[in-house]
Every structure is written in structure tokens, then in C-alpha cells.
Amino acid sequence: MGMAANPMEGDIFPRWIRILPLGRVELVDQRSPLEVDLESLSAMVSSFKSRGVDVVIDYEHQSLQGERAPAAGWVKDLEARGDGLYARVEWTPQAQEYLRNREYRYFSPVLRLDPETRKPQILMQVALTNVPAIKGLAPLVAKQQEETSRGVVVRGMEMTANREKGKMREKLKGLMGLDPGTQEESLWARVVEVFRELGETLGLPEEAPASRLAETVAALKATSEQLPEVRQELEVLKNRLAEETVAQVVEEALKAGKIAPAQKDWALEYCGRDQEGFKAYIAGAPKVVPTGEDWQALRDSRGAGGLHPEELALCRVLHLAPEVYATAKAQGGKAQ
């Protein structure tokens, strides 16, 4: 037998429950009602304290049947209050699970009564049950209490989530270059503006989603990682083209007779260092090496001092007699 639970605020598991109300207690069967007054309340509290042991709470009064009777909890203390007898309860994890799932909803006390007055004298034990003997019992864990408790948890989760969102907003303001006091509307307007500017920079349409922006940035990053290798290849190609251009300019100067074959290395170095300067020099230089018919004539006149055509051409440029050059050459000296 028992009365309504009085759960501790914010917890769906009752810590203090009212075992018996003060006054007349109606029973669901044919037994006579119980009479609970201040004297019987005092007697039950006194008996509990004098025994000095906790009162067991079992399942379906199994302790009275001599069977295995695991405890659902323990009565740790009793108090006589203005509206009845209250017990401080410590529930086992299994009992909490049953109560949470509403597999057990009520309790029933086992009392020792005065045979004449039917007033309770001793609380012997308590049982979790779904068939209570006292009329009008409220469930140990009422639906409203469950919803209230869940509401407390949900509100706590919402508060935590709101705090995290607040931190994220402040961080986002810093990233956007905004003051901490910036209103949320201005923050989101700035975020949209930044995304739009980034899209324009990347050459994407205004409505491009963030995923498209990320893909484009990733592609640019991959390309930039290849730039050193590309630059090196371009440098090689540039140098090769420059060398080929220099060689072509010098070759044209040789064909034009503006330089002698013996001057080729000098010409390549000069042209490679200052191509425009070399071209200007060639444009104003006289023809020092014969070409075409002049070249054939020189070949035919090689007998003069046994000089090569190139040497004869050099004599012409220097206004030097071939015989003088030949004599100097034979002596290994320099012509005067």
C-alpha cells in the first residue's frame, strides 16, 4: 500500500516518497480503511530509528514469499510531516531503469497494524508493484514529471548549444573584420558579401555554392604547387630559344661577310650578352669576308704567300700586304 510520490525537483526518480497520508486511507479490496494519525506516524518513525537498519524495497513483495528477492532500493530515513509519513529512498540502477521505462509505476508498503485500532505502528518493508492496494495513487514517476525533467535536460542542452553558437558568432565576426558589437544581421550580410567577392575573384557566378568555391581554391592550390616545375621548364626553353636566336644572328653575320669565321666565338659571346648592341655593330661594320664571286676569286689567288682566303680577307681589312702578313706568320711574330 502507498501514496503519491514526491520526487526531488529536476529528477524523475523520487528521492522522498509519501508512504502514508495523514487521515483515513481507503483500500482497493474489501478490507477496512486504515486510520493514520500523528501518534501512528511517530510510532513508525521511532521504530525505524530504534532498529537502525534500512528498510528494503523489493519487487512484488517477493521478500514475503521466501523466494529470491533482489532489492529495488532502500528506505534510508523516515520523517513524520504535516500530511503524512515520508521515506527517503535510494534506488538501485535496475529499479531506476524500470521506473524510467515505466515498467513499474507504483509502490506498496507492508505495515504492522494495531489489531484493535488498525493504526499503523511499524513499516516492515516496501515493494514496487503495478497493483497497489491504496486507492487513488499517483504513479511514482508521473508523465508530467518525466516531461518536466526532460524539459530541464533539453533546456540545458539548448543553453549549451546557444553558448557554443555565441562563441562561433564572435569568432566569425573576428574573421570578417567586424567589431564584437556588430549585430547578427550585419554579420550575415558581411558573410554573404565576402562569399560574393571571393566568387568574383575566382571567376565564378554569384550564386556559386561554398562547395564550388572550395573546389576552385583546391584546384588553384594544386596548380600553384606545380608552378616551380613549370617555371623551370619555361626558363630552359627561354634559354634555348635565346641561344638559338644568338646563333642565328651570328650565322647571318658570317654569311654576310661582316665577321670572319675566326671571330665566331667572340661574336657568340658578344651577341649573347648584348644582342641589340651586336646587331648595331654588324649593321655598321664593313664586309670583311668575301662572299659569292669575291670568295671564289680569293680562293683562286691563294698562291699569294700561301695564305687562306680568310687570311687574305683580313689583310684587306687591315690594309696589309699579303706578303707582310705571310712573313710575320712564318716568323711566328706580329706584322708591323
Q: For residue range 162-217, list pLDDT tens digits in order.
A: 777 778 888 888 888 888 888 888 888 888 888 888 888 888 887 778 788 788 88
- Distance set, CA 21 to CA 41, 77, 99, 104 (Å): 10, 17, 22, 21
Q: How much is the pTM?
A: 0.42
Q: What is the rounded average pLDDT of the residues 220-241?
A: 80
Residues 290, 304: Cα–Cα separation, whole Å? 16
Q: What is the mean pLDDT of residues 47-74?
A: 90
How far apart, in whole angstroms, are the C-alpha atoms of residue 34 and residue 21?
A: 10
Higher pLDDT, 3 or 55: 55
Q: Which residue has the higher pLDDT, 314 or 122?
A: 122
- pLDDT at 148 exceeding the cut of 50: no
- Predicted confidence (pLDDT) at residue 6 exceeds the cutoff of 90: no
Spatial CA neighbour of 257 closest among 292, 297, 288, 279: 288
pLDDT by residue (tens digit) across 281-316? 888 888 776 665 555 555 555 445 567 766 777 777
Q: Which residue, among 53, 82, 86, 57, has the nearest Cα to 69 in the 3D structure?
A: 57
Strand 5-6 with 16-21, pairing = antiparallel
User: Measuring CA to CA, which residue among 20, 40, 24 is closest to residue 32?
Assistant: 24
Query: Is residue 150 pLDDT above 70, yes or no?
Result: no
Contact between residue 143 and residue 151 where contact means Cβ atoms under 8 Å apart = no
d(C-alpha 223, C-alpha 151), whole Å: 53
Residue 4 has pLDDT above 50, yes or no: no
**What is the rounded distance in angstroms from the CA atom of residue 331 to the CA atom of residue 131?**
141
Q: What is the dihedral of CA 217, 218, 223, 224, to 10 degrees?
A: 70
Cβ atoms within 10 Å, residue 248: 11
